[in-house]
């Protein structure tokens, strides 16, 4: 990842330092790993899949930088470090997000793959970010008026988390040369996985342990989410249901499940189906 | 432009209203017009050129929304109306910028043109925005430490204004099927035009007439630019020199100059070469 943001040509140095801080922080890289594991289906991971994974991580990082801003969640810790705006100021943090989002599309345009694949990946990524995805999810989150039913919370989870999981997985499917049927199942898998991820995140948030979270907790206080609507116990059950459904979809594809299962187990621990 | 942001599927309504406010405000649309006039070189304006022009305008609009934020220029008026953050709040204004930038790349990925052209346009646009273009220019602007020579100011002008002019013109050249030599001249033309634009803008800023500007003026107080470095009179001379050089480059291409000349005359008035 370093080679993509470490160029001596990034000016001014303050912007470069802020970019490094945001992108090279110790994240789990779940989305790019997912993309790579799906893309590696038949021919091993390619340089193109690596770059596409980095593009997805750039978008994810941009969304975190924005989410933490004073005008949004006003969070001071992320990935166990001070947030970008705390260290570099609000204006620079916003520019970092813009630069990362922009560079993600630049990477896809320059990808070592056919032009048709590149435009397809750009289309998928753009669809997951805009007013049918991340941006809309964040706007709902800010407005706090998404409704009080579990289905409402799941809809917002889809927008703010599921959409980028789906994009990462679908981009992997395109790069891995999956057929239409497998691609649809992978989208289904990622959709459930995104729900599980967001619900697990909301469970950590109410646990109130910033050490486990690596970020500010309790920032979602008063926001409607699956946990606040159905309670922690039933939310854990829901998370397990999502994961079961995700694995069910994945099992119907030709994608090797071992690495993806291990990635999920690492993240969800005792909530993984079969584990108690 | 309306069809691209007026869909009933933009949720929540607050976000949709903010997007409409920003994008459908009475701008001059200079960048998309430039793209269209260059692309129409041999076959008339195409749907693809129109969409590419809208993509460029979306990026420009996003840059204005961000530029006006409290953490940046803290401006309250733009295009003779209240700025996005004044009407819709800071968080929503930031999301509008992200949504527009993202949709610009989505539009290019879906453009009614060959896949190779689409990836080329995406690459050009991305290069003009990121840490070698708009974002870097804005970061220099914030830092205010770009140096006190005219060449320093011109470098920042290139980043914050020239880069997107060059992108618009180069995208037009790609869509118009220009050869490499004409493409290079068009890049040169747009580079000079961008310098002229930014210098004219800085001249309006010191004139202190918000009515003429349609936006807050005096926000650049204390910032180094060509006007503050060489004074208003010599800046007007510099602007005329840029325009002369721009027209010289344009004249060496096969692009019909009439419409572009008229567009420039409308904008620069008495500063156009030949006019007194």
What are the pLDDT digits (tens) for A163-199? 999 999 999 999 999 999 999 999 999 999 999 999 9
Decide if B225 touches A, using CB distance below 8 A.
no
Domains of chain A: residue spans and CATH: 10-271 (1.10.600.10)
User: Residue A118 and residue B115: Cβ atoms within 8 Å?
Assistant: yes
User: Residue A139 and residue B14: Cβ atoms within 8 Å?
Assistant: yes
pLDDT-based confidence at B221, cuts 50/70/90? low
Dihedral Cα A37, A41, A45, A48, nearest 10 deg: -100
CA distances from A207 to A148, A214, A225, A269 (A): 21, 13, 14, 16
Residue B82: strand pairing partners: B77
**Three-state SS for A77?**
strand
Please check whether residue B109 is in contact with residue A119, taking contact to mean a CB–CB distance below 8 angstroms. Answer: yes
Decide if B66 touches A, using CB distance below 8 A.
yes
Please check whether residue B273 is in contact with residue B247, taking contact to mean a CB–CB distance below 8 angstroms. Answer: yes
Tell me the two tokens of residue A35. 């993309």
User: Residue A101 and residue B101: Cβ atoms within 8 Å?
Assistant: yes
Q: Which of these ranges, A18-27, A82-91, B217-226, B255-264, has the smallest mean pLDDT?
A: B217-226
Instruction: Please name the residues between 144 and 203 in chain A that touch chain B, using a CB distance below 8 Å.
Output: 145
Residues in chain A: 276
Nearest to B221 by CA among B139, B159, B141: B141
Report the predicted TM-score, pTM, of the whole model to 2 decimal places: 0.94
**How large a percentage of chain A has pLDDT more than 70?**
93
Round to whole Å and give the CA distance between A179 and A24: 34
**Three-state SS for A81?**
strand
Q: Which of A13, A62, A70, A71 to mutate to test the interface with B (most CBs of B within 10 A)?
A: A71
Closest approach of A119 to chain B, Cα-based (Å): 5
- Partners of B12 on chain A (C-beta within 8 Å) are 136, 139-140, 143, 145
Q: Could you say which residues of chain A have pLDDT below 70?
A: 1-8, 42-45, 145, 219-222, 275-276
In this structure, is the dihedral angle defined by the CA atoms of residues A102, B109, B174 and B271, taken in order, positive or negative? negative
Partner-chain residue, chosen from B14, B102, B135, that has the shortest CB–CB distance to A126: B102
ipTM (interface predicted TM): 0.93
- Partners of B130 on chain A (C-beta within 8 Å) are 99, 102-103, 106
């Amino acid at each position: 990842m370093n080679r993509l943001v470490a160029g001596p040509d990034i000016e001014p140095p303050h912007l470069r330092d802020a970019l490094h801080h945001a992108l090279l922080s110790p994240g789990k890289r779940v989305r790019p790993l997912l993309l790579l594991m799906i893309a590696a289906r038949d021919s091993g991971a390619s340089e193109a899949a690596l770059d596409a994974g980095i593009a997805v991580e750039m978008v994810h990082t941009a969304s975190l930088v924005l989410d933490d801003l004073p005008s949004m969640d006003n969070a001071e810790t992320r990935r166990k470090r001070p947030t970008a705006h705390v260290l570099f100021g609000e204006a620079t943090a916003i520019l970092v997000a813009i630069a990362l989002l922009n560079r993600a599309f630049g990477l896809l345009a320059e990808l070592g793959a056919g032009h048709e694949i590149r435009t397809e990946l750009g289309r998928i990524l753009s669809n997951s970010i805009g007013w049918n995805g991340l941006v809309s999810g964040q706007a709902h989150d800010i407005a706090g008026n998404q409704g009080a039913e579990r289905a409402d919370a799941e809809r917002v989870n889809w927008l703010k988390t599921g959409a980028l999981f789906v994009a990462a997985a679908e981009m992997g499917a395109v790069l891995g040369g999956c057929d239409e049927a497998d691609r649809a199942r992978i989208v289904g898998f990622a959709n459930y996985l995104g729900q599980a991820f967001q619900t697990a995140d909301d469970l950590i948030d109410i646990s109130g342990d910033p050490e486990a979270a690596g970020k500010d907790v309790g920032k979602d206080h008063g926001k409607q989410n699956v946990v606040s609507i159905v309670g922690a116990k039933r939310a854990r059950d829901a998370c397990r249901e999502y994961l079961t459904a995700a694995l069910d979809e994945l099992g119907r594809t030709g994608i090797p499940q071992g690495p993806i299962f291990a990635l999920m187990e690492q993240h969800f621990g005792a909530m993984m189906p079969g584990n108690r």
